[in-house]
Structure 1
């Protein structure tokens, strides 16, 4: 009888231990992905169709790119609340520059596109430079610095446009970078894939990439070991702004207008994508591939709620609840890791 009782108890413990190890290694994301797929498949027959999954991928690209930059800010122990403003400002400045060049030289389509993209990205990076100077050189809290710049950038975008969308860009810009397809895959997906590969190589194949983890893990120890902590913090916010600005230009191509009101939800969504993917709010912990999956998960949930006809107001509730759940799960995971070390 005792042998039988022991035999029946082992599978249960083994399954629980396996789930616990998976949770410690990968975080809560795999469990949330499974739950989301099951729930939304039951709620809508169109959810798992190839066409809808490709639509999810296309819609998630913009958040994914912004989340790449947000991950770098989180790795160093901060975060960037100005990413939404950077998206909007780059959209407005890029569209205005592109429209101006195209109006002056209608035949120079690619010159107008190039000038517009460079101007938009430069405007977004300028916000990141100011953020980086404040955080790295003046030791301003990332929360206050990025929050202040979010207000400044949004005010500039509204001042430039008067709240009116910017038109007059070449049609080729939207046709290629907004709606273009190559081998059945949307053009923005290729841009995102290129950025993911480049950032992966930088973070995990160069010493400078590992500095971001070291600075986030222990700033003083990183500085004492010879790492340029100030420079690392500065470039963190420059890189973050660059990714947000690229996403802003891709969104501009998709909308075919420059908008001062886009990107408002990007700060919350990008932080949620990173935290759900296991990037620690304390810094020094997080994997790039998990962040990509985290952004896809946010897009998957939003798409599933749209198919289920859940009101947009309730969708923000769900997203906020997911963020809180991810933070709680991160704390539980840290306790599990500490218990395993003991």
Structure 2
């Protein structure tokens, strides 16, 4: 199993942050890391699906923001219509958020799979369109007034003694693992990323496979958007601003190949946790957010360089 440079990065981070700050390995801090990892884990799982096919999705942040804005707006509006049906309002608001994100996934999927647009150009363009729509709806102002029960359960609730967002992430991880390892769709995603021409000649509907990857990616980002909205208690257009870079970094560090065909769910989960762990350690060390962006970008570049070197050795060996 290709896990890339992740073990070395993880070991280095644990040693550095444990030495630098005694609070790093506290149970309370590790629990906090687990909570914070949920959102990036969900997005990274979706990003992995797209990377496995040989593409990538720069619009995952917009999926989160549009989910947040649309779901919050729907809840606030429906609360007036159904003042005594809180969970009906919440359920319809969540569905509205999913629909908004799915629209982004459908656009990306159609552009890449049907019209052959470069994933970079397609997802970058959709990212801009979605961000503009979110800002137009809100005017850049947070959408307040969502039901208290929504945040109390999905943002801060406990079930079986575990945070609800963590349980949601565990279910998502299990479902994606099953999909990638036990279903035809998972096998087709790997086949398309490994060699799309060979996959087409073997009878795989490559267009439908690519479309599915982008649609599922957007839905997983939407789940993260719902949980983040519940956490902050309002619809926000700036949610997920850096998540595209972070999710790609988590995947590449975890050994997902940028050329497609290679990637494992369990490694990606660990990669996302690693990114959050590094951010948490830097926060404890009081390193500013700007320098954190520098380090995450540098880690991504280093991981890509190592992946490229590994690929060149494999090609040379053949």
Using structure 1 for the length normalisation, give the TM-score.
0.91
Give me the whole-angstrom Cα distance separating, in 1, the residues matched to 2:120 and 2:21: 40
* Match of residue 43 from structure 2: 66
Secondary structure at the aligned position of 1:230 is classed as helix
Give me the whole-angstrom Cα distance separating, in 1, the residues matched to 2:130 and 2:4: 35
State the Cα distance separating 1:330 from its structure 2 match. Answer: 1.0
Give me the whole-angstrom Cα distance separating, in 1, the residues matched to 2:269 and 2:315: 27
Give me the whole-angstrom Cα distance separating, in 2, the residues matched to 1:208 and 1:285: 15
* Match of residue 11 from structure 2: 34
Which of 230, 233, 250 lines up with 2:210 in the alignment? Answer: 233
State the Cα distance separating 1:169 from its structure 2 match. Answer: 1.1
Deviations 1:196-239 (A, max 9, x none): 10111111001221100000010110000000001001111101
Q: 1:25 to 1:208 in 2, by over 3 A?
A: closer
Check whether the contact 1:90–1:120 (CA below 8 A) recurs between aligned residues. yes
Check whether the contact 2:101–2:218 (CA below 8 A) recurs between aligned residues. yes
State the Cα distance separating 1:338 from its structure 2 match. Answer: 4.8
Aligned residues: 318
* Match of residue 31 from structure 2: 54
Secondary structure at the aligned position of 1:26 is classed as coil
The answer as to 2:72 corresponding to 1:118 is no
Secondary structure at the aligned position of 1:152 is classed as helix
* Match of residue 181 from structure 1: 158
State the Cα distance separating 1:25 from its structure 2 match. Answer: 4.2
Give me the whole-angstrom Cα distance separating, in 1, the residues matched to 2:17 and 2:23: 9
Map of 1:165-180 to 2, 5 A cutoff?
165-180=142-157
Map of 1:97-176 to 2, 5 A cutoff?
97-176=74-153
State the Cα distance separating 1:180 from its structure 2 match. Answer: 1.0
* Match of residue 15 from structure 1: none
* Match of residue 182 from structure 2: 205
Check whether the contact 1:275–1:323 (CA below 8 A) recurs between aligned residues. yes
- Which protein shows a greater Rg? 1
Gapped regions of structure 1 (runs ≥ 5) = 1-23
The answer as to 2:220 corresponding to 1:243 is yes
Using structure 2 for the length normalisation, give the TM-score.
0.98
State the Cα distance separating 1:334 from its structure 2 match. Answer: 2.5
Check whether the contact 1:27–1:333 (CA below 8 A) recurs between aligned residues. no
Alignment root-mean-square deviation, CA: 1.2
State the Cα distance separating 1:335 from its structure 2 match. Answer: 3.9
Deviations 1:102-147 (A, max 9, x none): 2222210110110000000110110110110110000000000000
* Match of residue 197 from structure 2: 220
Give me the whole-angstrom Cα distance separating, in 1, the residues matched to 2:310 and 2:27: 34
The answer as to 2:284 corresponding to 1:282 is no
Give me the whole-angstrom Cα distance separating, in 1, the residues matched to 2:49 and 2:251: 10
Check whether the contact 1:167–1:257 (CA below 8 A) recurs between aligned residues. yes
